[in-house]
C-alpha cells in the first residue's frame, strides 16, 4: 500500500498518546455472556445497584446474547442497558466465545460510534464500514490487525484500505462515555483516515451489540 509510511507514523503517534492513558483507572477486559436459567416467559432484571433490593432499570430476555460485561464482583455483573448502566446476577450468565477480528483481540461484531459529527464504524471479518452523516458509506478492506506491544493486550489496531485511502483504527479497552447518556461503553476508539485529500480524525466509543 502506497501510504504504508504514513500509516506507521499515524500508529506511532497514537501509541504515544495512549501510553499515559493506560496509567490511569478505567481499564476493562470486557467479557461476553448469554442469559441462562431464565424461563421463556420471564426476564433477567437489571438493577440500578448491585443488590436484589435495588430499583429495576432494565431487563434481558431468555437466552439474550451477547451480554457485554464491563466487570463483576460479589456475584453481580456490571452491564449497560439502553441509556444507562446496571447490574445483573452472575448466576444467570454463561460465558460465550465470540469470533475475533484477526490478531487484534477484538470481536468481529464490534461497533464504534461518535458525535459531532455523528458517525459509526462497523467491523466484520474482512471489512470496516464507515458511515458519516455528511458522506456516503465507505467500505475499507482490512489488511492488518494487531495488539499494541507497548500497552499489552489493552489496545489494538486495525488497518484498512480503499483505493488510495487508508483507515487506521486504534481501539483501547477503557471505559468510555458518549457524553449524551449515562451509559458506559467497554472500549474507546481513535480513528484516522489518510488520503490524497488530507487526514481526517474521529474519536468515540465501542460496544458489541446484542443479537436481534
Tens of pLDDT, residues 33-75:
999 999 999 999 999 999 999 999 999 999 999 999 999 999 9
List the Cα angle 47/49/54 in 5-degree steps.
60
Confidence band for 212, pLDDT divided at 50, 70 and 90: confident
Length of the chain equals: 212
Residues 22 and 37 in one domain: no
Region of 163 please: left (phi>0), alpha (psi -120 to 50) or beta. Answer: left
**Is residue 212 situated within a structural domain?**
no
Based on DSSP, count helices (H) and strands (E) in the chain, helices before strands: 1, 17
DSSP 8-state class, residue 135: S
What CATH number corresponds to the domain at position 75?
2.30.30.40
| 140 has pLDDT over 50 | yes
Global confidence as pTM: 0.86
Residue 23 scores a pLDDT above 50: no
Average pLDDT estimate for 17-40:
76
Task: Give the residue from 75, 95, 115 where a domain finishes.
Answer: 95
Output phi, psi for 151, to 5 deg.
Answer: -130, 30
pLDDT at 105: 92
**d(C-alpha 85, C-alpha 36), whole Å:** 20
C-alpha to C-alpha distance for 113 and 184, rounded to whole angstroms: 13
The mean pLDDT of 152-156, rounded to a whole number, is 77
Domain that holds residue 112: 4-27+98-207
What is the H or E stretch that residue 171 is in? strand 165-172
Are 111 and 179 found together in one domain?
yes
Please report where in the chains the cell 461476553 appears, as a residue: 32
Domain count, the chain: 2
Same domain, 108 and 192: yes
Q: Is 3 helix (H, G, I), strand (E, B) or coil?
A: coil
CA-CA-CA-CA dihedral for 11, 13, 26, 153, to nearest 10: 40
By three-state DSSP, how is residue 175 classified? Answer: coil
The CA-based angle 158-209-157, given to 5 degrees, is 10
- Check whether residue 17 and residue 122 sit in a common domain: yes
C-alpha 90/C-alpha 33 separation (Å) is 9
Amino acid at each position: 500500500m502506497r501510504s504504508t509510511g504514513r500509516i506507521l507514523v499515524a500508529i506511532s503517534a497514537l501509541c504515544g498518546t495512549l501510553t499515559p492513558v493506560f496509567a490511569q483507572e478505567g481499564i476493562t477486559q470486557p467479557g461476553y455472556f448469554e442469559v441462562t436459567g431464565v424461563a421463556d416467559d420471564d426476564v433477567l432484571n437489571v438493577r440500578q445497584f448491585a443488590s436484589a433490593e435495588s430499583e429495576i432499570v432494565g431487563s434481558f430476555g431468555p437466552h439474550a446474547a451477547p451480554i457485554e460485561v464491563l466487570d463483576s464482583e460479589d456475584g453481580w455483573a456490571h452491564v449497560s442497558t439502553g441509556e444507562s448502566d446496571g447490574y445483573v446476577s452472575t448466576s444467570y450468565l454463561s460465558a460465550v466465545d465470540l469470533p475475533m477480528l484477526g490478531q487484534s483481540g477484538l470481536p468481529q461484531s464490534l461497533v464504534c460510534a461518535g458525535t459531532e459529527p455523528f458517525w459509526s464504524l462497523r467491523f466484520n471479518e474482512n471489512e470496516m464500514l464507515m458511515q458519516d452523516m455528511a458522506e456516503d458509506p465507505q467500505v475499507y478492506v482490512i489488511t492488518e490487525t494487531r495488539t499494541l506491544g507497548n500497552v499489552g493486550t489493552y489496545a489494538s489496531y486495525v488497518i484498512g484500505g480503499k483505493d488510495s485511502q487508508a483507515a487506521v483504527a486504534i481501539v483501547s479497552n477503557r471505559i468510555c462515555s458518549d457524553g449524551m447518556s449515562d451509559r458506559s461503553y467497554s472500549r474507546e476508539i481513535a480513528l484516522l483516515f489518510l488520503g490524497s485529500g488530507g487526514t481526517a480524525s474521529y474519536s468515540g466509543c465501542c460496544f458489541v451489540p446484542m443479537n436481534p
